[in-house]
Structure 1
C-alpha cells in the first residue's frame, strides 16, 4: 500500500511538470495525488466498489485542491489536474479497446461500462467537492458580513 501511495505521488508530479505548473507547487500537486490514491485504497478495501472508491478519491482531491488554492493563492486546477492522474482508469480503457480489436464484444462492453462509470465518478467527485467547498466558503463569508453589519 505504501508503494502504491509513493507511486501515486510521483504519478502526480510528472504531469505537473508536463503541464508547466509553478515549481513551488509541484510537490503540493504530488501530495494531492497521493492523498487521492490513499482515499481510493481505503474506500476500495472497505467497500470493494470501484465506483465509490473513484468518487471518494476524486472528492478528496477536489477538497485538497480547493483548500491549497486558497492557501497558496493559485487556481485549484493546478492541484486537481495532477491529483487525478493516478485515479484515471487507463488500464480498463486499454482493455476495452483490446477486447474490441479481439472482437470479444461482451468483455469490451463490460470494461467499457466500468471505464465510463469510473470517469463519471471522478468527474462528479471533483465537481461536488468544488461546489461544496465554494458553498461553505460563501456561507462563512456571508456570516462574517452579517456580523460586521450588526455592529
Structure 2
C-alpha cells in the first residue's frame, strides 16, 4: 500500500469535487467542505478497491459516507445537504466504464466477424452493467442518509457538535 498514492488521489478527488462545485456556483463558504468530502469520499472508494471489495461496493460505501457527512456539513455551513453531496460524488462517476460500453456498442454495430461477436458482446454488457450499478450505488448512497433523516428539516436535527443553542451546556 503506497501512502503517497492515497495522498495524491485524495488531492485529485477533492480538486475534481471543487471544480464541479465552482461549476455549479455553490456558495463560497461551502467550498472547503466540498473539497474535503470529495477527497475523503474518493479515499474510501480507493480503500475498498485496495481491499479487493469491488468498485460497486466501494462506490456505495463512499457515497453513503459523503451523504452522512453532507448532512453534518449542512448544519455548520447553513446550506442544503445536496450542495455538498452532489459535487463531492461526481468524481466517482464511472466515466471509463461508460466509455468502453459505448465503444463496444459501436464495434458491435460494425462487427463483420462472427467469432469476435460473443467476446465483444460479453465485454460490452459487463461494462454497461458496471456503469449502471455504480451510478445506482452513487444515487442510493447519497440519497439514503438524507431519506433516513428526512423526518425533520436538516436545520431542525440536533447534532451536539454543530448545535448553536445557547441553552445547552
TM-score between the two structures when normalised by the length of structure 2: 0.76
Q: Which has the larger displacement, 46-55 or 11-20? A: 46-55
Mapped partners of 2:121, 2:23: distance in 1: 35
Where does the alignment leave 5 or more consecutive residues of structure 1 unmatched? Answer: 142-151
* Number of equivalenced pairs: 141
Where does the alignment leave 5 or more consecutive residues of structure 2 unmatched? Answer: 1-5, 109-119, 160-169
Mapped partners of 1:118, 1:72: distance in 2: 29
Of 139, 146, 150, which aligns to 1:123? 139
Contact 2:29 2:77 in 1 (8 A): no
Contact 1:63 1:133 in 2 (8 A): no
Q: Secondary structure at 2:14's aligned position in 1?
A: helix
Of 103, 106, 109, which aligns to 2:122? 106
Q: Secondary structure at 1:102's aligned position in 2?
A: helix
Mapped partners of 1:47, 1:5: distance in 2: 19
Match in the other structure for 2:90: 85
Match in the other structure for 2:11: 6
TM-score between the two structures when normalised by the length of structure 1: 0.84
2:75 corresponds to 1:70: yes
Task: After TM superposition, list the pairs within 5 Å mapping 1:7-22 onto structure 2.
Answer: 7-22=12-27
Structure with the largest fraction of helix: 1
